[in-house]
Amino acid sequence: MNWKLIRIIDAYAGIPLVYAALWLKRLFRSSGPSEGDRTCGRILLVKFWGIGNLFMMLPSVGALRSAYPDAEIDILTLETNRSAAEYLGVFDHVYTVDTKGYLRFIGATFSMFSALRRREYDRVIDFEQFARYSAVATAVIGSKVTVGFMTSRQHRHLLYSHPVAYDNNIHITRSYCSLARAAGADCAQCDVSFFLPSARPSDAGGRGILGGLGVPAAATVIVMHVGTSDNFSERRWPTSSYAALADLLAGERNVRIVLTGLKEEAHLAAEVRDLASAGDRIFDASGTLTFEQYDMLIRASALVVSADTAAVHIASAAGIPVVGLYGPNTPVLYGPWGRNGSAFYKELDCSPCITNFNAKTHRCRHPEGKGACMRAITPGEVYQEICKRYLAPASAEKSPGGPVGKKSCVR
């Protein structure tokens, strides 16, 4: 499906749908819990777009678990996110809408909404910031307690019993926590470190993957995620920049580079290897890993370097150091979070140009054309930051879990 077209349709056809859903909601009022009722048997979380967003929801899910330890917490998402949602292991049931074609999407919408309505949820929480489709889903599925964002000129807040003002100046993890708070969770539990591991988990699976690639067992591994999916290709850092950074890092003692990306982005990793001179220290895993294997690989690495994509948030949730590269979007909202993240963002006059307010459709106005903001980030400055914050001095012994920094982009 053409997601840019879907977002445009949602933006312009969404308001009539919101008012239709509002009429239906008033016609078929639910008999769920009243405000202040602490009993809660079932909670549904709605989040359709973005695998990275599922990871940024983890602190909120943790807070809800603490507030309602006996409740079932389910999620409604897209079928393309199923493997990630199930792998996280924090949802009792994962329900999805199929997006393989417009007719299947429409059919899946009606059948899934009807089935979930019969589940009689006590609370439904919509984690989408702007999509009216999710607000309509929340209203149709029904509950006396519905929570979602109130965003300017969107009208979607009319469908929630508990609208929460959306703040576009704080990190998305914080915004999500405000939804959990409105649903009755203790705000003290809504901390970005709440769901992060206190100690690094076993990375035996990841080391096995590295061994299969031919990476030496004692190597310090840096993962470079070179793609961003075709949805927002303008977020990509140039392959020439990745290649230059890989050469600089590969010159460090005992460092190896592993390139990752989606199957359809394997050509980007091939370009990086072709452009780099340190080919024997660069390994290509793009398009070959399941979601579970990718997570294990990240957990076995010393550092992740990625543009604005899910890799940043997978590393953040695992407590793995991550350097994020931003241009069309801002790290204030979507930067690394947790304990060990840093971000590069030039903040040009035209940045950010991909925002929640324009349905995240790219409208580059820079005189040098698309990608100018990403090209402005140089391999040299990224290398210096990595050396300063994440790599041990040359005289020290390096290991896969070596020294890390503590900078965070959360505000």
* Domain segments of the chain as ranges: 3-189, 204-389
Side-chain half-sphere CA neighbours of 268 within 13 A: 24
What residue ranges in 123-272 does DSSP mark as E strands? 123-126, 145-150, 162-165, 220-225, 255-260
Give yes or no for a contact between 180 and 60, defined as CB atoms under 8 angstroms apart.
yes
Q: Could you check whether 3-189 and 204-389 share the same CATH topology?
A: yes
pLDDT of the residue at 407: 37
Prior bond of 352 cis (ω within 30°): yes
Q: What is the pLDDT of residue 391?
A: 83
End-to-end Cα spacing for the chain: 35
Instruction: List the structure tokens of 123.
Output: 């609370």
Q: What is the pLDDT of residue 367?
A: 64
Alpha helix ranges (H) inside 118-230? 132-141, 172-182, 204-213
Q: Which fold has domain 3-189?
A: Rossmann fold (3.40.50)
Q: Going by C-beta distance under 8 Å and a sequence separation of 6 or more, which residues neighbour residue 199?
A: none
pTM of the model: 0.85
With CA atoms as reference, report the closest residue to 241 among 387, 378, 381. Answer: 378
pLDDT of residue 359: 56
Q: What are phi and psi of 307, to 5 degrees?
A: -75, -170
Q: Are 297 and 318 in contact (CB under 8 A)?
A: no
- What is the predicted pLDDT for the residue at 395? 37
Return the ∠ at Cα 184 (arms to 72 and 189), rounded to 5°: 90
Q: How far apart are CA 167 and CA 333, in angstroms?
A: 10
CA distance 273 to 260: 12
Token duo for residue 55 = 């990871």
In tens digits, what is the pLDDT along the chain, a chain of 411 residues? Answer: 555 556 656 665 656 666 666 666 665 555 455 555 566 899 999 999 889 999 999 999 999 998 999 999 999 999 989 999 998 889 999 999 987 777 888 888 889 988 999 999 999 999 998 888 898 889 888 878 999 999 877 778 888 999 999 998 999 999 999 999 999 998 665 555 555 554 445 567 898 999 999 999 999 999 999 998 766 778 899 999 999 999 999 988 789 999 999 999 999 999 999 999 998 999 999 999 998 899 999 999 999 999 999 999 999 998 899 999 999 889 999 999 977 899 999 987 777 777 666 555 666 676 676 778 999 999 999 999 999 999 865 434 434 444 433 333 333
Distances (CA, A) of 158 to 253, 300, 341: 58, 46, 37
Architecture of domain 204-389: 3-Layer(aba) Sandwich (3.40)
Say how far apart CA 248 and CA 361 lie, in whole Å: 34
